[in-house]
């Protein structure tokens, strides 16, 4: 299990690194937000311990970038201020848990272990692209932490797109998988459903994730930067 610690305060950073290493984790320590983000996106971690007040790039920006790039590893953020807004903001940006400084190391360790356990069991039940998440178990969809209500067909359509994300799905495949019907019977049904799904998951958010590939079908993916 590999943990990334992003913490600029020398003493706290060293203390966390030492403590987590002694508890059997492989750890990397970044001293500012830019380095932390770079490591989080390029290396393969099981969890990030993220301080909020950081030089160069603050913890909120790091967290947002991590989620926008579609990384779904658990993030535990550390906040020095016991403010409700901070906690709400962190959880809205996609953090999984938080600790208010100063904290006991045993408390941090307990949170880390709980998050790692949760991450493992829910992995196969959670589909996502960028900040769009579909929870199969709870039949729930959220984007940027906001709940989105879908009909059963829209849910099935989104599930199919997410299961094969990055792949262009022909209308015939969507028709047979979601509607159990032949492509020829009524393609309009698919177009209408995709339009409705888009209105719910893409209209109020950036980036737009569902794309029509003319003459081919539909794909869900994080768009390439223009
Ligand atoms: Ca700090």
Instruction: Please give the average per-residue pLDDT across 111-139, as a whole number.
Output: 80
Expressed in angstroms and rounded, the spacing between residue 100 Cα and the centre of ligand 1 is 12
Expressed in angstroms and rounded, the spacing between residue 159 Cα and the centre of ligand 1 is 39
pLDDT of residue 119: 61
Expressed in angstroms and rounded, the spacing between residue 25 Cα and the centre of ligand 1 is 22
Report d(CA 224, CA 214) in Å as an integer: 17
Expressed in angstroms and rounded, the spacing between residue 31 Cα and the centre of ligand 1 is 9
**Cis peptide bond upstream of 220, omega within 30:** no
**The whole model's pTM is what?**
0.55
Q: What is the pLDDT of residues 137-188, one digit of tens each?
A: 788 999 999 999 999 889 999 999 998 888 899 888 888 888 877 656 566 8
Residue ranges in the chain assigned as alpha helix (H): 10-22, 33-42, 59-68, 84-92, 105-122, 152-163, 171-174, 187-201
Expressed in angstroms and rounded, the spacing between residue 49 Cα and the centre of ligand 1 is 12
pLDDT of residue 85: 73
The pLDDT-based confidence of 33 (bands split at 50, 70, 90) is: very high
Expressed in angstroms and rounded, the spacing between residue 99 Cα and the centre of ligand 1 is 13
pLDDT of residue 171: 87
- List the single range of 62-76, 178-192, 209-223 with lowest mean pLDDT: 178-192
Report d(CA 73, CA 115) in Å as an integer: 10
Give how far the C-alpha of residue 13 lies from the chain's centroid of Cα atoms, to the nearest Å: 25
Mean of all residue pLDDT scores within the chain? 88
Per-residue pLDDT at 53 exceeds 60 = yes
């Amino acid at each position: 299990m590999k943990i990334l610690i992003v913490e600029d305060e020398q003493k706290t950073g060293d203390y966390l690194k030492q403590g987590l290493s002694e508890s059997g984790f492989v750890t990397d320590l970044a001293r500012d937000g830019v380095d932390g983000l770079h490591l989080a996106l390029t290396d393969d971690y099981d969890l990030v311990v993220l301080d909020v007040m950081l030089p160069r790039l603050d913890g909120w920006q790091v967290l947002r970038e991590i989620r926008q790039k579609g990384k779904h590893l658990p993030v535990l953020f550390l906040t020095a201020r016991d403010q409700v807004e901070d906690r709400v903001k962190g959880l809205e940006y996609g953090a999984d848990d938080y600790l208010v400084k100063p904290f006991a190391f045993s408390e941090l360790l307990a949170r880390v272990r709980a998050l790692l356990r949760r991450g493992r069991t829910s992995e196969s039940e959670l589909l996502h692209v960028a900040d769009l998440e579909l929870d199969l178990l709870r039949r729930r969809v959220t984007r940027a932490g906001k709940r989105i209500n879908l009909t059963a067909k829209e849910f099935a359509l989104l599930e199919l797109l997410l299961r094969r994300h990055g792949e262009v799905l022909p209308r015939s495949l969507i028709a047979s998988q979601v509607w159990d019907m032949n492509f020829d019977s009524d393609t309009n049904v698919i177009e209408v459903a995709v339009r409705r799904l888009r209105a719910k998951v893409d209209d109020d958010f950036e980036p737009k994730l569902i794309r029509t590939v003319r003459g081919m079908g539909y794909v869900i993916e994080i768009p390439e930067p223009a």
